Amino acid sequence: MPRLWSPSNNKRNWHPHPAEVLPWLLGVTVVFLLWHLWQSLMPLPNLQDERLILWTIVGVGASVTILIVWALRLVQISQRSARQVESINAKLTQQIQVRHQTELALQQYIEAIQDLYNNAPCGYHSVDANGTVVMLNDTELNMLGYSRYEVIDRKKFTELLAPESVEPWLASFELLKQRGWIKDAEFWMQRKDGTTFPILINATAIFDNNGNYAMSRSTVLDLQARKLADQKLQEREAQYRAIVEDQTELICRFRPDGTLTFVNQAYCRYFDRKAADLINQSFIPLIAPEDQAILTQHLAQLNLNCPMVQIEHRVIMASGQLRWQQWTNRAIFDDAGQMIEIQAVGRDISDRRELDRLKDEFVSIVSHELRTPLTAIAGALDLLASGKLSLQCEEAQQMLTIAASNTDRLVRMINDILDMEQIKSGKIAMTQKPCDIAEIVQQSIAVMQTMAQQAGIQLQVSSISAIVLADRDRLIQVLINLLSNAIKFSDRGSTIWIGVERIDSANKLLSQDSINYSPLDFPALLVTVQDEGRGIPEEKQQTIFEPFQQIDASDSRKKGGTGLGLAICRSILSQHGLPFWLDSAIGIGSRFSFAIPILLSTPEHFSNQGGQLEGGSLE
């Protein structure tokens, strides 16, 4: 209907919709047309009839207008209702789709939960108040060999247990109904075929609104594999313990503070103590007081990068006697890298120590009882050989010369043996002081002058002056030994080169097969002694650095020497921490090299110092 004026909306502006105004305009137009049509067709005789006809026309027009208005209004309402129905239908369709998707997702979730329940790595079951199995997953059914139809609501849980586990389970079941849970309860279940296997049950009770027990939620873990693994572990542990207990070596484990956690029978027998008296006690009081600080320092060195150390120390026996032991200690770390225990294997080395002492005494005796008279003999022979004392004939003079030469050879041999033993045992300390490498080279050449002159060997020197930190006398000994070997195994008229040059790093010249492999990644001096001798076979290039080793067994008779020169060189350079290596080729010659760090380099450079040395003298 059209909106009309009223007191309630007198303040609102009227903005009629065309659909509201159009019916009225139509009505007025119909009335106007009917009136004019009537007047033109049938003129009225009097005014009263004219009014009657007018009101009739107005009435008809009003009726038609009202009908049109209501018809249009019904059309609007119908369209609005249609749109509302369409909207409602769209919303219902959307809600149906959402609900369908929700139901589908819920179904998938239920299926996933059901799959997880049935295919879990452990068994799941539920037991009601009467002990009847009301739920059971596929995993547990597979354990037992039953089908779901055979068990659910048909068997009590006691029927699935081995006879010896029925009573314990009933007691645990009553406890479950009272307190609401049981944890890590072990039982034996019985399969359909009658075989049994161990299980571990954890259960939680579900109660109704009145607090009464309704059912359980239980997990079942098959322990058969674990039991077998435990059995094998126990067997291996028994084997390991038997091996450890049967060892003659002393074996123990202790915490970083020295508290013993394990000792074998050999350990107990050695100290004449029972294991119970040693476990959870510190072993430190068993160590001689003078050696306890050394032991503590060695143990402090243990870390992830250095998990093992070896130490020798004295222990106090029950009788009060001191004995020597050698221990190999290996640290054990947890996942965080913290040292938790130390495993140690030890042995008594008192007899070896006594042998070392006797050997040292023997070396001392050799040094005094042989070296001293030989020195006196050599001096006397040199005096006779010099001609200062008259001799009756030339043959006597020749014999004295041979005697003096062989005496010198014997003295050198004894000195080499004594030096080798003393260096090896650490009795000779390397006194390292700043010294000039050029002076060391010059003095070494001066010592070898006579030998080079007699052999007719030409020496060529290329050196620089630089300060190094070394034991001067021992470094001279190294160069003398290298020059001596080079002269012995070079032909008359050949050349030996002695070189000293500066290098930025010795690492590029080294390999893992170097005699003394010691990384040297900073400026250093490269010292070389190179000859034109017969060369050293590849298979001999490692063994010749061992004591008493020579390329050919006949070399000792033909060339002289003990086969200790290179071993002494290696030991001296090793104690200096210097790399030492060999390059050799058959028929070409050999080059022995070592590198030593520079302390201070001077600007003086001796290139081909003095030219050449012919027969050991500077030209």
For 204-260, the pLDDT digits (tens) are 999 999 989 999 999 999 888 888 888 888 888 777 777 777 778 899 999 999 999
**Regarding beta strands 458-470 and 495-503, do their DSSP bridges make them parallel or antiparallel, or are they unpaired?**
parallel
Residues 170/160, Cβ–Cβ less than 8 Å: no
Residues 391/384, Cβ–Cβ less than 8 Å: yes
- Write out the two tokens for 546: 């061992």
Q: What is the pLDDT of residue 608?
A: 39
User: Is residue 613 predicted with pLDDT exceeding 60?
Assistant: no
Q: Which residues, in sequence order, are bridge partners of residue 505? A: none
Lookup result for tokens 């050997």 = 359
Backbone angles phi, psi at 361, to 5 degrees: -65, -40
pLDDT, mean over the chain: 79
Q: Which residues, in sequence order, are bridge partners of residue 282? A: 259
Residue of 173, 143, 139 lying closest to 157 (CA atoms): 173
**DSSP-assigned letter for residue 42:** S
Q: What is the pLDDT of residue 254?
A: 95
Q: Using CA atoms, how far apart are residues 52 and 183, in angstroms rounded to an integer?
A: 107
Residues 576/431, Cβ–Cβ less than 8 Å: no
Per-residue pLDDT band for 395 (boundaries 50, 70, 90) equals: low
CB atoms within 10 A of CB 451: 16
Per-residue pLDDT band for 374 (boundaries 50, 70, 90) equals: low
Structure-model confidence comparison of residues 558 and 140, the more confident one:
140
**Regarding beta strands 433-436 and 196-207, do their DSSP bridges make them parallel or antiparallel, or are they unpaired?**
unpaired
For 145-163, the pLDDT digits (tens) are 999 999 999 999 999 999 9
User: Is residue 8 predicted with pLDDT exceeding 60?
Assistant: no
What amino acid occupies position 585? A
- Write out the two tokens for 311: 């130490």
**Regarding beta strands 589-606 and 524-530, do their DSSP bridges make them parallel or antiparallel, or are they unpaired?**
antiparallel
Helices assigned H by DSSP within 42-162: 47-118, 138-144, 148-151
Backbone angles phi, psi at 83, to 5 degrees: -65, -40
Q: Using CA atoms, how far apart are residues 347 and 258, in angstroms rounded to an integer?
A: 18
Residues 307/330, Cβ–Cβ less than 8 Å: yes
Give the H/E segment covering residue 286.
none
User: Is residue 302 predicted with pLDDT exceeding 60?
Assistant: yes
Mean pLDDT of 348-375: 71
For 45-59, the pLDDT digits (tens) are 555 666 666 666 666
User: Is residue 175 predicted with pLDDT exceeding 80?
Assistant: yes
Structure-model confidence comparison of residues 329 and 42, the more confident one:
329
Q: What is the pLDDT of residue 331?
A: 93
For 535-562, the pLDDT digits (tens) are 888 888 777 877 766 666 554 445 555 6
Q: Using CA atoms, how far apart are residues 241 and 254, in angstroms rounded to an integer?
A: 17
For 320-351, the pLDDT digits (tens) are 899 999 999 999 999 888 999 999 999 999 88
Express as a percent the part of the chain with pLDDT over 90: 32
Residues 593/448, Cβ–Cβ less than 8 Å: no
Q: Using CA atoms, how far apart are residues 230 and 184, in angstroms rounded to an integer?
A: 17
Per-residue pLDDT band for 5 (boundaries 50, 70, 90) equals: very low
Residues 346/325, Cβ–Cβ less than 8 Å: yes
User: Is residue 611 predicted with pLDDT exceeding 60?
Assistant: no
CB atoms within 10 A of CB 61: 20
- What's the first-to-final CA gap in the chain, in angstroms? 141
Sheet holding 322-333, edge to edge: 260-263, 250-254, 339-348, 322-333, 308-316
Q: Using CA atoms, how far apart are residues 585 and 591, in angstroms rounded to an integer?
A: 9
Residue of 566, 590, 568, 570 lying closest to 580 (CA atoms): 570
Let me know how long the chain is.
Answer: 619
Express as a percent the part of the chain with pLDDT over 70: 70
